[in-house]
Structure 1
Amino acid sequence: AAPGLVALAAHRVEFERRWCVDALTGGLPWVCTYKCALRVWPDMPSHSNQVLRYERRPLGLDRALSLPAHRAGPDAYVTAHHLRDLLDAAPLDQLIAWSREPALLVRVPFGPFRGRRWNELEDTALDAILARDSDRDMRFTARHERDRRGGTGVTPPMLLL
């Protein structure tokens, strides 16, 4: 790793780590702008790199340099703008910590509860996900939501209406 380098960043670190192995990176920690964006900007319609660019309109971002999407150069340019803004929202050590965990999803990505916010699910739905789902992010988020509720197994009052 280069002198003074403290962390690496990518949008969807798991994808990049297939090629950027520790032997190449010196074992530096990573910031996953996808996982961090889920926490810092949970109300975005999507947390893909380009949707974040379009919805957030980061200061100083030159649209011409951000295209075409899904190419290394433009995607890295867009990711750098997200990283700058994430660093304004949370300290680097917090971004690294979030990046080491599974993604804390805003909405259920698939299955019978697809598209619903986690805080809208009944406890029985969380139990079903924890019992049957093998997706790491889904299980992590379901556990997080149970903990947020106090792990009581009681359906939130807003769902009893």
Structure 2
Amino acid sequence: MSDPNARRVRVIDLETAGSSPSDVCEVGWQDVELGPDGTWQVSATSRGARFVDPGRPISPGTMAVHHILDEWVAGVGYWRDVAPAVLRPEGGVMALAAHRASFEQRHCTPDLTGSADWVCTWKCALRLWPDLPRFSNQMLRYLRRPEGLDHDLGLPAHRALPDAYVTAHHLRDMLNAAPLETLLDWSRQPGLLPRVPTGAHRGKTWSAVADAALAILVRDRDPDIRFSAETEVRRRTGQAGLDDPLPVQRTLL
């Protein structure tokens, strides 16, 4: 569980050799700290990265993304040995965070994190900056140009520490715009997409979608599309709790 006495949220970024829980080959972290004046700042010192032995070769296709070589990670420690010191540091954390945190959560399981809460900065960006055209970590970096982000420290992209460093600047601005509990609540729900992402209505705001088309979208297989369409139905029908999913059975009536 999150430590109520802590004053930091730790951003986590992983590079992997595959999709199984033990396939981590690098972990990076960057803390965002709550100052005595009540504002959040990216820590100048509390950051780092470690290679991890995934226990199997990294494929050439995966190397082409993060450029981590087998010889760099051989024998440096497996994920279950490396993870606790990073995910449960001395002094604790108020929460962990990642961009599209569902990926990190597949590897940072509750037994490794102590069941810490997670902030998904992708989901929070959808809520806080809905007018932006795209929401990837690197696109947010160049669309927003967060104050204080050192360009060189954020490179190379697709490596654990630089990516965590970039994400931390988005998180800092989010925490200074909304309470941590609000970010955690948004992160527990599916993503509230500001526009329809695919299909005949791609690029339209939800308010511009006709009722008949919306009735189809609330049955979409993608949970983010479904949740976003359900939220628009709630808005149109004046129901309370706009952020709560609308049961599919009700949308079919």
How high is the TM-score relative to the length of structure 2? Answer: 0.58
Q: How many residues align?
A: 151
Alignment partner of 1:63: what SS? Answer: coil
1:129 maps onto 2:129 in alignment: no
1:25 maps to 2:113: yes
104-113 or 33-42, larger mean C-alpha shift? 104-113
CA distance, structure 2, for counterparts of residue 5 and residue 76 of structure 1: 16
Q: 1:13-92 maps to which residues of 2 (within 5 A)?
A: 13-92=101-180
Distance 1:65 1:42 in 2: 27
Using the alignment, how far apart are the partners of 2:238 and 2:175 within structure 1?
32
Alignment of 1:81-160 (within 5 A): 81-131=169-219, 133-150=220-237
Q: Does 1:4 align with 2:89?
A: no
Name the % identity. Answer: 60
Offset at residue 70 of structure 1 (A): 2.0
Q: Structure 1: give runs of 5+ residues left out of the alignment.
A: 153-161
The superposition leaves residues 66-124 of structure 1 with CA deviations (integer Å, 9 ceiling, x where unpaired) of: 12222211110000000100001100000000000000001111222222221211111
Which range moves more in the overlay, 62-71 or 72-81?
62-71
Task: Give every structure 1 segment of 4 or more consecutive aligned residues whose post-TM-superposition deviation is greater than 3 Å.
Answer: none
Which residue is 2:246 aligned to? none
More helix per residue: 1
- C-alpha distance in 2, partners of 1:71/1:114? 32
RMSD, aligned α-carbons: 1.4
More strand by share: 2
TM-score, normalization by structure 1: 0.89
